[in-house]
Structure 1
Amino acid sequence: MSTLIAMALFAFVTSISPGPVNIVATSSGANFGFNKTLHHITGATIGFTSILLLLGVGVIEVFHENPEIMNYLSYIGAAFLLYMSYKIAFSPISKVDEENQATPPTILEGLLCQWLNPKAWIVAISGVTVFSPNGENNTSSILLFSVVFFVVCFLSISIWAVMGVTIKKLLSHPEHYKIFNLIMGCILASTVIYLLIY
């Protein structure tokens, strides 16, 4: 029972903290509402859980033997996340630009936000190392950890999306949306730059 609580706390602290996935969820919640943000939430949750499962079945050894993979992942991930920040910052507002309406993030974009996010890989590697030590219960440990993380991750990203929906109530004018989107895009870009530097 104490292991389950520790897993849940680890999952909550790492999932609820600000990061690219949660910034996109907040922006999407504000622009498209909660229901249309569920695609992003689902994709990001599946993306992270699949990383855990892959690492749990042995892919973690590839990272231990080839640490330079994280460098390549950082640059590819930074490029994708900068694209997402541009998409958020300059997303058209339907009230202003009827011909070129923005679209909410897709399941694939949510998945890629995790797969190309170095923070996600670092968190997953740390979690698998701590909660799935080598031994005969390794498979059951990684499955339990993945289920716990799936639930907690989904709920945590949902909280950020709900925050976006709440912010939406304050954005009564199309110009407010433009400013909000620009700020969220800049925050995401700043997060990417921070991840690259540190």
Structure 2
Amino acid sequence: MPLTEFIAFSLFAWIGSFTPGPNVAIAATTGVNHGLRAALPQVMGVPLGFVLMIWVIGLGGASLLSGHPYLVLFMKIAGNGYLLVLAWRLCFSASLSDSKTVHPLSVQQAAAFQMVNPKAWMMVVATTSTYAIGQTAFFSRMGWMSVGFALPCGLSILAWAWMGDKLRHWLLIGRRLRTFNIVMGVSLAMTAVWMCTL
């Protein structure tokens, strides 16, 4: 991959990974409600799911999706529906004792969540179709993209979970935790609604 393309891809991967979306909302919420250690499986699972998606799309998934618009529609409805369920649970989680309604994700769950994460699909389809599919040195490009997504994804989840963990004690005062959970739930719901319009 030429240096200019690699820089453009890397910027997209880093910015896309750290900006708000379902993964970072879940990471921050897990950090607040369960602590940093509970979010560590997500730190490993999200990059794993992203890398799997890169290879699935790169090795033919893009053709499958472009030829079956109803499959794309189903995936969009399922993914955004799941985000709305998570948002609902978060909004009604008023205290740490209620946080059992939103369990920390295991490595496998965090990886599988990417399959219904609309933001993940948008990022992976956009990058593989731009930087890998139909390009020379396909497997080399796919390898670079795998590393280029895995690193910022993992660091982003870790950073957001760490921030959530650091806010944990401050949020225990009064109704701050309830307000935080409502804000995060509403942000997830808004993400789902926004993704429906794409």
TM-score (norm: length of structure 1): 0.86
Residue from 12, 17, 20 that aligns with 1:18: 20
For 1:1-198, list aligned pairs within 5 A.
1-91=3-93, 93-94=95-96, 96=97, 103-173=103-173, 175-198=175-198
In structure 2, the CA distance between the partners of 1:92 and 1:172, relative to structure 1 (3 Å rule), is: closer
In structure 2, the CA distance between the partners of 1:97 and 1:78, relative to structure 1 (3 Å rule), is: closer
Alpha-carbon offset, residue 33 of structure 1: 1.7
Unaligned regions of 5+ residues in structure 1, if any? none
In structure 2, the CA distance between the partners of 1:159 and 1:69, relative to structure 1 (3 Å rule), is: same
187-196 vs 20-29, which moves further:
187-196
Distance, in Å, in 1 between the alignment partners of 2:118 and 2:71 is 10
Alpha-carbon offset, residue 3 of structure 1: 3.6
How much is the aligned-residue C-alpha RMSD, in angstroms?
2.3
In structure 2, the CA distance between the partners of 1:142 and 1:113, relative to structure 1 (3 Å rule), is: same
Distance, in Å, in 2 between the alignment partners of 1:165 and 1:6 is 32
Which amino acid in the other structure matches residue 59 of structure 1? Answer: G
Alpha-carbon offset, residue 92 of structure 1: 6.1
Which amino acid in the other structure matches residue 32 of structure 1? Answer: H
Cα pair 2:53 2:124 within 8 Å, conserved:
yes
Deviations 1:141-195 (A, max 9, x none): 1111111111111112222222212322421336322222122112211221221
In structure 2, the CA distance between the partners of 1:101 and 1:11, relative to structure 1 (3 Å rule), is: closer
Aligned-partner SS, 1:110: helix
Alpha-carbon offset, residue 130 of structure 1: 1.6
Distance, in Å, in 2 between the alignment partners of 1:148 and 1:114 is 17
Unaligned regions of 5+ residues in structure 2, if any? none
Which amino acid in the other structure matches residue 196 of structure 1? Answer: C
TM-score (norm: length of structure 2): 0.86
Distance, in Å, in 2 between the alignment partners of 1:13 and 1:97 is 33
The number of residue pairs the alignment matches comes to: 196
